[in-house]
Structure 1
Amino acid sequence: MSIRVAGRRRTTASLTSAFPRAEIVDVTSRAPQPWVRLSPFYPHGGIPVPYSEGVTSQSVEGIWQALKVFRDTDVDPGKLRITTMKGLKRTVRRHGPVQGHRTGLHGDRLLSYEAARRRIYLPAYRWILEHRAADLVERLRDMGDVVLLDYTTNGDITDPTSPLSHAALIQLHIEGRWPREDGADAARGGQ
């Protein structure tokens, strides 16, 4: 069994040529059921918001966007309630440069980009893999050779030049190589 990650924008011919015996599985917000449930935009509901005791979100992306702080705008708890997979993004064009991610809706600290990936995004996404999509993770394990399609393929939590690929996180989860949320893996040279 092998799991790989490829860009969703690649053609079918390119994918089948590069991965001739692999099952191709789209895990983006545009994927068909049931695989769309692996998208961070999917409204599973009940996802615990890190640093916010008793607060939950509909989606992982809702958590990421809600806790983002811009020069001109603080947190946006409304992002936690969105169930349509649309209207989640908050942009620098509208709100000014990103200052960091707040440690909870009422936290007093801002986390750097890498720290926010580790302490907000990773726990939230791992929670859905373990509690809302465990059946899909098992199906992927049983499929043999699989290529997961995502819009980005960056699986390096320390690389801020490209958005983090949730497909790469699925791969790391299945392979038992989940990045450390405390950053200790960075100190020893990677995931």
Structure 2
Amino acid sequence: MPVHVASRRRKPESVRAAYPEATIVDVTSRGPEPWVRLSPFYPHGGIPVPLSAGAVSASVEGIWQALKVFEQADVDPSKLAVTSMTGLKRTVRRFGPVRGHRAGLLGEALLGYQEARQQIYLPAYRWMLEHRAQELVERLREMAGGDLVLLDYTTNGDLADTSSPLSHAALIARYIAGRWPG
């Protein structure tokens, strides 16, 4: 059975009507325990920062935000230490347009959005799935024997589609199916 991804913003009745036999699991930062642990915002701790030997982060989102470079601000290593699921975002409103993501904390190169997804986000999120959320992934694999719907705020599972953020629920679905991108 395929694992479906649906928007958490949809009314629950709408999701239930579209997938009447499915088990529905909210994997967002507002989801219930234990599923919230699959959110990239969840502070597992000890997540290696790609392209940054020896550096670790509390969360995957901490890595993504720490390496983001703006017109008026470079990397922000303090984001790696954030252990709450708030206070992570760095915005264009505050720092100006995004120029890219630094290829590591001390890297010289700036990566474009799609390249940063491949070299930063995907390795960090996969490491988290394999080293901090193995038990949850196995439970989802078992549930995927039937109809399974993962809720996320975004549903974009296409790495090449940079018009909207990448859905971590879509990455979970691909991981469970053995179809990790890249």
SS in 2 for 1:178: coil
Please report the TM-score for the alignment, with normalisation by the length of structure 1.
Answer: 0.93
Tell me, in whole angstroms, the C-alpha distance in 2 between the residues paired with 1:46 and 1:159: 30
Identical counterparts, % of pairs: 71
Aligned pair count reads 180
SS in 2 for 1:6: strand
Please report the TM-score for the alignment, with normalisation by the length of structure 2.
Answer: 0.98
Cα deviation, residue 2, structure 1: 2.4
Q: Who is 2:95 aligned against? A: 95
SS in 2 for 1:148: strand
1:141-164: CA deviation from partner (whole Å, max 9, x where unpaired)? 111211000000000011110000
Tell me, in whole angstroms, the C-alpha distance in 1 between the residues paired with 2:55 and 2:8: 33
Cα deviation, residue 82, structure 1: 0.3
Q: Who is 1:166 aligned against? A: 168
Cα deviation, residue 42, structure 1: 0.1
Unaligned runs of 5+ in 2: none
Q: Who is 1:183 aligned against? A: none
Q: Residue 176 in 1 paired to residue 178 in 2?
A: yes
Alignment of 1:58-77 (within 5 A): 58-77=58-77
The runs of at least 4 consecutive aligned structure 1 residues that moved more than 6 Å come to none
How big is the alpha-carbon RMSD for the aligned residues of Structure 1 and Structure 2?
0.6
Cα deviation, residue 11, structure 1: 1.1
Unaligned runs of 5+ in 1: 181-191
Q: Who is 1:39 aligned against? A: 39
Q: Who is 1:55 aligned against? A: 55
